[in-house]
Amino acid sequence: MSTTLQDDGTRTLREGHAPTLKVRKRPLNRRATLALSIASPVVLLLLWEVASRSGMVDARFFPAPSGVFLALAKRLTGSELWGHIGISLSRIVIGFLIGAVPAVILGLAMGLSAVIRAIVQPLVDATFPVPKLAILPLFILIFGLGEGSKYMVLAVAVFFIVLVNTAAGVRAIDTTQLEVGASFGASRTIMFFYIALPGAVPFILSGLKLGMNVALLVIVAVEFTGASSGIGYLIWNSWQVFKVEQMYVGLVVTALFGFGFAGLFALLERVSMPWKRR
Amino acid sequence: MSAIPGSPPRASSDVKVDIRGLEVEFQMRGSKFKALDGIDLTIRRGEFLVIVGPSGCGKTTLLRVLAGLEEASGGDVRIFDDDNGQRPESAMVFQEHGVFPWMTVRENIAFGLKASGMPRKARRDIADEYIERVGLTPFAKAYPHQLSGGMRQRVSVARAFATDAQMLLMDEPFAALDEQTKLVLQELLLRIWQETSKTVLYVTHSLDEALVLGDRIVVMSGRPGAVKDVIDVAAVFQRPRKVAEVRSDERYGSMFGRIWGQLRQEDEAAS
């Protein structure tokens, strides 16, 4: 667009003279985005396949992806891998729930009550930095070598991250919204379930997501040493007997766990926050 | 904040709130500062009282004391119940962010009723009535992010009126809206107020809004806040009013000038 000053002082705007910008501002269309995001991992896997088969990389450490997927497919027809998957999943879910449920409740209470915050906050600050895996031996002492100690380490790891996020979520609620509740004389129950909880849901969900990532991390580490079953055990055991392909199977399965839970939380987000702008 | 039981009725029955020597102090980084200093004010039953004043003069603080969100540090506030205290004492309309994003329009409007413990069915009926009154029927199930700023304030206003509270406390409810939307909502507010005859306390920094809406205008002086003047608008502009008619009335200018003169004195005193 250009502007010309006329003799009579008026100006006319002419189109078609704007400098052409080389910057591509519009996002890619959906199809192109999809094609590119499918192509990139496929190309990577192909390169890997070629590199492994041609001997450019050591096939003992980097077996060809086709071999890994064949091994995975073969094991999926048997019962052993499913057994490992089942036991790991049950540990994750149970440990996660033991940690997350009280964390959400206590986190909401901390967010709402200055008294509870004053009591709990120093305890959290003091114990939060302790690496959660470091307490595994202690938990084995207390809960034994069985499932109990595994649940509890997971629970503790999940607990802190969910607690901190939930409390922050309540604190992040607009003061006005809490005051609306107070000005209408809302009871504590109503403040809790209709303002604090839904208001903190975005933070709670991101806390739960982080908690689930931590749970995956911790379960694999716990199963490396203190277990004779589970995906972590499968990976560790494969290393010990030098079954590299089987180790990769374990890695692929943990990745699938990650995808699965991410999908689950995306669904949970959509269901629990129909009010979110998308 | 409530009428003290057994206290002798100090005022006749057309007094809704009697404020004597109200003081409010805040703690700011260890030091105290006075937001309100010796406010004397009588609010009449059923009147539309507008409070104007320079920013920081404590007009919002006064409203918040009446809403029970702030505590008085001195003086006396008496609120006289309309009828045996069956209805909620007050309901507040906030400037912005007062609507819950996680509730639909209907749930938002029913919230005050829910807080007062009304059963579900009755709540819904009343909410729907007010949704219609503010013209949001097609949006009953919409979430606030799907609404414009003006529509969100309709929700806020409807929520407050739906509680059938004796007194409505409005803190610059339309300040963030554009002029046209503001005008439409002012008309809407006047209409609903006339239909329900509630006591309204309305804080604004807009002199125009004060003149258009109010029965009386309380002009406050700043830091610490005190009542400087009370102007009777109802005597000049008769009810029912049309916003546009008030603005084009020849007396509008002189009233505007009178209030502006006082606020300007304030500004000059402060600077």
Q: State both tokens at B136.
A: 């949001």
Minimum distance, in Å, between the CA of residue A125 and any CA atom of chain B: 25
User: Domain range for residue B84?
Assistant: 15-89+165-270
| Tens digits of residue pLDDT in B4-55 | 444 444 445 788 888 888 888 888 777 888 888 888 889 998 899 999 988 7
Q: Among A85-89, A118-122, A190-194, which is the least confidently predicted range?
A: A190-194
- The domain spans of chain A are 71-272
Q: Check B102 against A199: CB less than 8 A apart.
A: yes
The pLDDT value given to residue B2: 46
d(CA A262, CA A224): 23
Reported confidence tier of residue A251, pLDDT bands at 50, 70, 90:
very high
Q: What is the mean pLDDT of chain B?
A: 85
Q: Which residues pair with B46 in a beta bridge?
A: none
Give the CATH fold of the A71-272 domain: MetI-like fold (1.10.3720)
Closest-CA distance, B136 to chain A, in angstroms, reads: 18
- On whether residue B8 sits in a domain, the answer given is no
User: How far apart are alpha carbons A195 and A189 in whole angstroms?
Assistant: 10
Question: How many Å apart are CA A234 and CA A81, to the nearest integer?
Answer: 8
User: Closest Cα of chain B to A181: distance in Å?
Assistant: 8
| Beta carbons within 10 angstroms of residue A243's beta carbon | 15
Question: Rounded mean pLDDT of chain A?
Answer: 86
The confidence score (pLDDT) of residue B1 equals 44
For residue A108, give the nearest of A155, A64, A172, A63 by alpha carbon. A172
Q: Determine contact, residues B203/B38, Cβ cutoff 8 Å.
A: no
Q: Supply the CATH number for residue B222's domain.
A: 3.40.50.300
CA B183 to CA B174: how far, in whole Å?
9
Q: Which token pair is A182?
A: 């107070």
Q: Is the ipTM here above 0.90? A: no
pLDDT tens, position by position, B168-188:
999 999 988 888 888 888 998
Name the residue among A254, A277, A212 with its Cα closest to residue A85: A254
The number of domains in chain B is: 1
pLDDT, tens digit, 9 for 90 and up, residues A64-92: 889 888 888 988 888 889 999 999 999 99
Mean pLDDT across A190-218: 91
- Please report residues of B whose CB lies closer than 8 A to that of A174: 97
Would you say residue B201 lies in a domain?
Answer: yes
Q: Do A190 and B112 touch (CB under 8 A)?
A: no
Percent of chain B with pLDDT over 90: 28
Note whether residue B245 is domain-resident. Answer: yes
Query: Does the pLDDT value for residue B134 go beyond 70?
Result: yes
Interface test with B, best of A175, A177, A178, A183 (most B CBs within 10 A): A183
